[in-house]
A and B are shown apart, each in its own frame.
Chain A
Amino acid sequence: MTDSNSIAPAEPVEILLAEDEPSDADLCMRVLRRKKAANHIVWVKDGAEALDFLFTRGPYASRTGTDRPRLLLLDIKMPSVDGFEVLRQVRADERLATMPVVIMTSSSEERDIAQGYQLGVNSYVTKPVDFASFRQAVQDVGMYWMVLNKAPRTSQAN
């Protein structure tokens, strides 16, 4: 179901998708790709891997592309490191601080939403259980952040 989990991408990563649920990740990538919202999507299975990717360490130490992704789609409830911790470290890092991060989660808990925004998330989207709504949500997020929105390429550029 996956075809884009390349360890050393040739072109710049446009979206980093941190999602522990393979079906959600697959559906998400299918929608994004079908709508041509992004060409190069990297999927990591948990928070630890996301951090390894973003800080080019562990399996991603030899990653050549040092540019940050244009968008981080982040699940909250993941094994090892959860989404909030990833977000905290991202916002604490000078290079990654201004990277747009969108939380996509099943949780609609008030507490989680509040915490996400306190940690500096750019958007908080709950995943609807029916695919039609899910597809609409993912399309909207992709179109908005990848097409409509203008974000700084790097922190330095800001």
Chain B
Amino acid sequence: MLDSAMLATAVRDEDGRIVDFVVDYIKPVAEIGQRPAEEIVGRRFLDVWPSAAGSPIWGMMLYLMETGEPITLDNFVYSEVIDGRAVTAAFDIRMTRLGDGFLDNFRDVTERYRVQQDLEASERRFRSALDALMDPFFMFVPVRDGQGKIVDLEFQFVNEAAERLYQMPRQDIVGHGLLELFPSGRELGIWDTYLEPIKTGTPARVDLPYFDEHGVKGLFEVSLTPGDEGLIISARDVSEARQAQEALQASEKRFRSALDALMDPFFILGPVRDDQGKIVELEYRYVNRAAERLYQMPRQDIVGHGLTELFPSVRELGIWDTYVESIETGTTARTDSPYFNEHGVAGLFELSVTPGDEGLLVAARDVSEARQAQEALRASEERFRTSVEALQDGFAVFSAIRDSAGVIADFRYEYINEAGCRMDQRSREDTVGHTLTELFPASVTSGLLAAYALVAETGEPLTREDVDYEDVYGGRRVSRALDIRVVKLGDGIVATWRDVAERRRAEETMTRQAVALRRNAAELEDRVRERTADLVRSNQELASFGHSVAHDLRAPLRAIDGYCQILLDEHAAQLDEDGQVLLGDVGRYAVRMGHLIEGMLALARIGRKDLGHVRIDMTALAESVVTDLRRGHAGAWPAIAVGQLADASGAPELIRQVWENLIGNAVKFSANQPDAQVSVESQEAAGEVIYHVRDNGVGFDMAYAGKLFGVFQRLHPADFPGTGIGLAIVARIVERLGGRVWAEGRVGDGACFSFALPAPSTENGETP
């Protein structure tokens, strides 16, 4: 409800006496001058509101600062001359001491105050009107005995004319009984006359003479109206009656106009009682325009109708009880009530309920917006508090403690969050209310206090990282490294801090590890580089060694073969037959060794060859290999069937070698069979193409299948020529192209050599 707030800090003279306050913060939703906050913050209280100096509030504020006793004021009316214009407003105020200053939560209740004023004024006017009547007017309530029998009628109200008539001041009449004051009334028949309308409930009009000790004072036309609570009597002097009635009507009209002018709904409810006097209904006696607008009904549809008749839910809402209690006890009440229309809640109203002569006066004020704002404020404050509590960092609010000279001597903890307590290893109860130097004596010598004071004095935020801080608390010497950030708040500061020792240790460890790691990595890299260079070098050396060995061996082998041949050609006569055969063998073995060397060179060359990735028409390639083999072949030739082969991708010259070796082998190992047949086929599988070269030749024992593709491995050394390197070349090539090679066979029942290559991609395929 208190939607405005102000924080102020005391300004003291040399003797420590408060001479003024400085406004640190204001949320001027309802500041009397409606001035923006920046016009007020930083200024002195009495500069902004000079009239406060002469107002009782000033004394209360000093008392508050002295004792800490909070101030609670409702309807505090305050006037100020602002910009040459007198402004009056009313406030509800809750003022509490905060540090060396105060927090003032307040709310502008001027409007509510005005309604009350208006009501009071209108009531006054009403009374004045009655007073203005020339005719006596009074109201009675019955006084009953234990049996409920009316034993007297007590004056509740008398007007001036009645005073004059009775020649007694009002206070001597009101509260007293008719029979008590005028014992003769019973004899004169007045008692019975007055009692009759109360008993029957019907108004009466009688003419009565009025007597005093001097005799008859006059004849009055007396109007007797039984009310819910008593009897209203107007004794009319016939000659002056009309005039008085007109005056009354005028007064009531003014009263009604005033109520209609109100922006807030206002209505009067009259109680309807049952036989036992219990209120069973509250009947609308009057509604103002604002109420018509609220109910969205014309006045005539409301007045005369019951509250529960129009709004059955009021009983559940508790409003009914409030109203009834107000009537029965005669006390004013204030309550909040939601107002529903057919669409749901239309608003929240603050109801001011005042029992009056006419009935229950109800002034409603729409506070939905104010309430929502307050809810939002509370939610925001809770969010803030929760956030602060959730922080991993320490968070504390300090108020400045100033010495008599106004110099900051210390700071007092006003608030600390959970993380702060944890880091300080001290509970919140042991912290809040205590001072900085009390809890951390070293803050004086370390300059921390001075730095904080500077923040509080200048408003310049302080940020310090890696502050090394040593202190004794809990009897232990504790060394801490902190990141600290401090900002000014009011006459005080807010500090957040973070223990960085852990982080620093982690960072140092990490740095050490990183350095070591980098060093290790560098060493490792160097070593790898060295080793790689070594390997490359030794590989190159090996390759060139192998190459030159192979190269250099060929010439002497050729020479051996050559000279053997020349010997046989030109000097055969000097050798016997055996010698000639031996010489022929020498040549042949030399040639064979030459072929082995050629094979090794070929195998070595595969590793150096670039792998092409052109699309290869395998049918054409295999057929061309068959043709070439046929041309260089002497002896029996098998029937070779090359089927339609799937395309492959790779280096054509390498794959040609694969075909040469596989088809060449098939020919070699089947040629001597009767009805020798070799077939070449392909099949496409998932992501690869598989090629088979099948023959019905001598076959092989599957037990040796694993040896087939090794270098210099031969299964048929005696019967078939060969170097034992062909299949090694095949395996090497196929593996280099990302494929695989295998063989199946049975002794005497042929063999099938297969190789699989990755299927060529369709888009970049290119036929060579």
Q: Are A129 and B591 in contact, CB atoms less than 8 angstroms apart?
A: yes
**A interface residue count range (under 10 / 10 to 19 / 20 to 34 / 35 or more):** 10 to 19
Contact of B558 among A77, A109, A127 (CB under 8 A): A127
With contacts A77-B551, A106-B551, A130-B591 taken as known, whether A23 is within 8 angstroms of B562 at the C-beta atoms is yes
Q: Are A24 and B565 in contact, CB atoms less than 8 angstroms apart?
A: no
Closest to B609 in A: A110
Closest to A111 in B: B608
Residues on B with beta carbons closer than 8 Å to the beta carbon of A132: 561, 565
Q: Which of B551, B559, B562, B564 has the most CB of A within 10 A?
A: B562
Residues on A with beta carbons closer than 8 Å to the beta carbon of B594: 129-130
Q: Is A134 an interface residue (CB 8 A)?
A: yes
Residues on A with beta carbons closer than 8 Å to the beta carbon of B597: 129
Q: Is B353 an interface residue (CB 8 A)?
A: no
A-B contact count (CB 8 A): 55
Instruction: Give A106 to B566 CA distance when docked, in angstroms.
Output: 21
Q: Which of A23, A24, A77, A129 has the most CB of B within 10 A?
A: A129
With contacts A23-B562, A24-B559, A27-B559 taken as known, whether A131 is within 8 angstroms of B554 at the C-beta atoms is no
Residues on A with beta carbons closer than 8 Å to the beta carbon of B554: 106, 127, 129
Residues on B with beta carbons closer than 8 Å to the beta carbon of A135: 562, 565
Q: Is A21 an interface residue (CB 8 A)?
A: yes
Q: Are B551 and A131 in contact, CB atoms less than 8 angstroms apart?
A: no
Q: Are B562 and A27 in contact, CB atoms less than 8 angstroms apart?
A: yes
Closest to A27 in B: B562
A73-93 CB contacts (< 8 Å) to partner B: 77
Contact of A130 among B558, B563, B566 (CB under 8 A): B558
Q: Are B595 and A129 in contact, CB atoms less than 8 angstroms apart?
A: yes
Q: Are A30 and B559 in contact, CB atoms less than 8 angstroms apart?
A: no
Q: Is A66 an interface residue (CB 8 A)?
A: no
Taking the closest CB of chain A, its distance from the CB of B767, in whole angstroms, is 22
Instruction: Give A17 to B591 CA distance when docked, in angstroms.
Output: 24
Instruction: Give A27 to B566 CA distance when docked, in angstroms.
Output: 9
Q: Is B40 an interface residue (CB 8 A)?
A: no
Contact of A24 among B558, B564, B590, B605 (CB under 8 A): B558
Taking the closest CB of chain A, its distance from the CB of B580, in whole angstroms, is 15
Instruction: Give A155 to B272 CA distance when docked, in angstroms.
Output: 147
Q: Are A134 and B558 in contact, CB atoms less than 8 angstroms apart?
A: yes
Taking the closest CB of chain A, its distance from the CB of B328, in whole angstroms, is 122
Q: Are B551 and A27 in contact, CB atoms less than 8 angstroms apart?
A: no
Q: Are A23 and B591 in contact, CB atoms less than 8 angstroms apart?
A: no
Instruction: Give A4 to B654 CA distance when docked, in angstroms.
Output: 44
Closest to B548 in A: A77
Q: Is B724 an interface residue (CB 8 A)?
A: no
Taking the closest CB of chain B, its distance from the CB of A158, in whole angstroms, is 36
With contacts A106-B551, A135-B565 taken as known, whether A129 is within 8 angstroms of B559 at the C-beta atoms is no
Closest to B605 in A: A109
Q: Is A2 an interface residue (CB 8 A)?
A: no
Contact of A27 among B558, B595, B598, B605 (CB under 8 A): B558
Secondary structure at the B interface, as helix, strand, loop or mixed, is helix
Q: Are A131 and B587 in contact, CB atoms less than 8 angstroms apart?
A: yes
Residues on A with beta carbons closer than 8 Å to the beta carbon of B737: none
Taking the closest CB of chain A, its distance from the CB of B10, in whole angstroms, is 100
Instruction: Give A135 to B558 CA distance when docked, in angstroms.
Output: 10
Taking the closest CB of chain B, its distance from the CB of A44, in whole angstroms, is 17
Instruction: Give A24 to B561 CA distance when docked, in angstroms.
Output: 11
Instruction: Give A131 to B564 CA distance when docked, in angstroms.
Output: 9
Closest to B562 in A: A131
Q: Which of A26, A106, A109 has the most CB of B within 10 A?
A: A106
B592-618 CB contacts (< 8 Å) to partner A: 594-595, 597-598, 605
Interface digits, A5-33 against B, CB 8 Å rule (1 contact, 0 not)? 00000000000000001011011001000
Q: Is A107 an interface residue (CB 8 A)?
A: yes
Q: Is B364 an interface residue (CB 8 A)?
A: no
Residues on A with beta carbons closer than 8 Å to the beta carbon of B551: 77, 106-107
Q: Is B556 an interface residue (CB 8 A)?
A: yes
Interface digits, B536-564 against A, CB 8 Å rule (1 contact, 0 not)? 00000000000000010011111101111
Q: Are B555 and A23 in contact, CB atoms less than 8 angstroms apart?
A: yes
With contacts A129-B594, A129-B595 taken as known, whether A30 is within 8 angstroms of B555 at the C-beta atoms is no
Taking the closest CB of chain B, its distance from the CB of A48, in whole angstroms, is 20
Residues on A with beta carbons closer than 8 Å to the beta carbon of B556: 23
Residues on B with beta carbons closer than 8 Å to the beta carbon of A24: 555, 558-559
Closest to A20 in B: B555
Taking the closest CB of chain A, its distance from the CB of B483, in whole angstroms, is 69
Residues on B with beta carbons closer than 8 Å to the beta carbon of A26: 559
Residues on B with beta carbons closer than 8 Å to the beta carbon of A127: 554-555, 558
Closest to B559 in A: A23
Q: Are B565 and A131 in contact, CB atoms less than 8 angstroms apart?
A: yes
Q: Are A129 and B557 in contact, CB atoms less than 8 angstroms apart?
A: yes
Instruction: Give A27 to B563 CA distance when docked, in angstroms.
Output: 8
Interface digits, B231-263 against A, CB 8 Å rule (1 contact, 0 not)? 000000000000000000000000000000000
Interface digits, A127-152 against B, CB 8 Å rule (1 contact, 0 not)? 11111101100000000000000000
Instruction: Give A131 to B556 CA distance when docked, in angstroms.
Output: 11
Residues on B with beta carbons closer than 8 Å to the beta carbon of A130: 558, 561, 587, 590-591, 594
Instruction: Give A128 to B556 CA distance when docked, in angstroms.
Output: 12
With contacts A106-B551, A107-B551 taken as known, whether A129 is within 8 angstroms of B558 at the C-beta atoms is yes
Taking the closest CB of chain B, its distance from the CB of A74, in whole angstroms, is 16
Residues on B with beta carbons closer than 8 Å to the beta carbon of A109: 605
Closest to B565 in A: A131
With contacts A129-B591, A129-B597, A130-B594 taken as known, whether A106 is within 8 angstroms of B562 at the C-beta atoms is no
With contacts A27-B562, A131-B561, A131-B562 taken as known, whether A106 is within 8 angstroms of B591 at the C-beta atoms is no
Closest to B593 in A: A129
Residues on A with beta carbons closer than 8 Å to the beta carbon of B587: 130-131
Instruction: Give A24 to B565 CA distance when docked, in angstroms.
Output: 14
Instruction: Give A134 to B556 CA distance when docked, in angstroms.
Output: 13
Taking the closest CB of chain A, its distance from the CB of B570, in whole angstroms, is 9
Instruction: Give A131 to B551 CA distance when docked, in angstroms.
Output: 16
Instruction: Give A128 to B591 CA distance when docked, in angstroms.
Output: 9
Instruction: Give A127 to B556 CA distance when docked, in angstroms.
Output: 12
With contacts A129-B597, A129-B598 taken as known, whether A134 is within 8 angstroms of B555 at the C-beta atoms is no
Closest to A132 in B: B565
Instruction: Give A58 to B587 CA distance when docked, in angstroms.
Output: 40
Taking the closest CB of chain A, its distance from the CB of B305, in whole angstroms, is 116
Q: Which of B561, B590, B595 has the most CB of A within 10 A?
A: B561
Instruction: Give A27 to B570 CA distance when docked, in angstroms.
Output: 14
Taking the closest CB of chain A, its distance from the CB of B761, in whole angstroms, is 27
Instruction: Give A77 to B563 CA distance when docked, in angstroms.
Output: 23
Instruction: Give A30 to B559 CA distance when docked, in angstroms.
Output: 12
Q: Are A106 and B561 in contact, CB atoms less than 8 angstroms apart?
A: no
Taking the closest CB of chain B, its distance from the CB of A135, in whole angstroms, is 7
Instruction: Give A30 to B598 CA distance when docked, in angstroms.
Output: 25
Residues on B with beta carbons closer than 8 Å to the beta carbon of A23: 555-556, 558-559, 562-563
Residues on A with beta carbons closer than 8 Å to the beta carbon of B563: 23, 27
Instruction: Give A134 to B587 CA distance when docked, in angstroms.
Output: 13
Instruction: Give A103 to B565 CA distance when docked, in angstroms.
Output: 24
Taking the closest CB of chain B, its distance from the CB of A138, in whole angstroms, is 10
Residues on B with beta carbons closer than 8 Å to the beta carbon of A30: 566
Closest to A28 in B: B562
Instruction: Give A156 to B474 CA distance when docked, in angstroms.
Output: 115
Closest to A19 in B: B555
Residues on A with beta carbons closer than 8 Å to the beta carbon of B566: 27, 30
Taking the closest CB of chain B, its distance from the CB of A20, in whole angstroms, is 9
Taking the closest CB of chain B, its distance from the CB of A16, in whole angstroms, is 20
Closest to A130 in B: B591
* 6 further A-B pairs in the complex, CB-CB below 8 A; given A106-B551, A129-B594, A131-B561: A23-B558, A23-B559, A129-B557, A129-B558, A129-B561, A129-B597
Closest 4 CB pairs between A and B?
A: A129-B594, A23-B559, A131-B562, A130-B591
Can you name 14 A-B residue pairings with CB atoms under 8 Å? A23-B563, A24-B558, A26-B559, A27-B563, A77-B551, A106-B551, A129-B554, A129-B561, A129-B591, A129-B594, A130-B561, A130-B590, A134-B558, A134-B562
Could you list which residues of chain A lie within 8 angstroms of chain B, going by C-beta atoms? 21, 23-24, 26-27, 30, 77, 106-107, 109, 127-132, 134-135
